[in-house]
Structure 1
């Protein structure tokens, strides 16, 4: 049978692994267990290594309170991550509008300039509303 010595953090996420055949080079089984490693079978290890799918929430598997692989919790997006997503969505659009406005200005296309100014104002209003929604 194939074994692994795995170390897990408080959330049950695997932080380090030593295959059984390398245990002696790391001081042996007793030393690994004393250092907080848990000896597990290959079948169980495959969940933690990501070889048994992504779990119910798409975030893989962690060691549950019962000592068995369980689906990791769903990722909850942080405020910083939400702000980054909003910024990347709107800043690219606003940059494109500015470039188009500069080109229309050089071409002296008054109809296009008016349309782009309206689009720009609409995008800025939506951007500010999205930022307020996240904050």
Structure 2
């Protein structure tokens, strides 16, 4: 039993589950049972790629297992998000009027405060 990590990957090479020696298994028989169940031994360095400790890959989407080499490779880019319509603010007229009134009131208060400061001898 050499590797302390065993991982299971989906058909796209994405890591689904990782098992750690001393936590999930201890004996050679337990190790072999996981191997028989489809788990693959991976190195500590490979594990660090899969969990994101070596960056997010060339496309910013992490790493997947290359089925030919068995090594981590940059995951494909995320698919583009299709926007079917332009998002718009849907604020009711009454709320919009209240907000505009508040902004107008704040500017009037600022003018009054400036006038008051002048009357008190300020600038």
Q: Superposition RMSD on alpha carbons, in Å?
A: 2.8
- 1:99 pairs, out of 86, 90, 95, with 95
Task: Give the alignment's TM-score, normalised by structure 1.
Answer: 0.60
SS at match of 1:53: coil
Structure with greater helix percent: 1
Task: Give the alignment's TM-score, normalised by structure 2.
Answer: 0.65
Gaps of at least 5 residues in structure 2 are 102-123
**Greater radius of gyration (CA):** 2
The count of corresponding residues between Structure 1 and Structure 2 is: 96
What is aligned with 1:76? 79
Gaps of at least 5 residues in structure 1 are 107-135
**Deviation, structure 1 residue 6:** 0.3
Distance (Å, rounded) in 1 between the aligned partners of 2:74 and 2:44 = 18
What is aligned with 1:49? 51
Runs of 4+ in structure 1 displaced over 2 angstroms?
Answer: 96-99
**Deviation, structure 1 residue 78:** 4.5
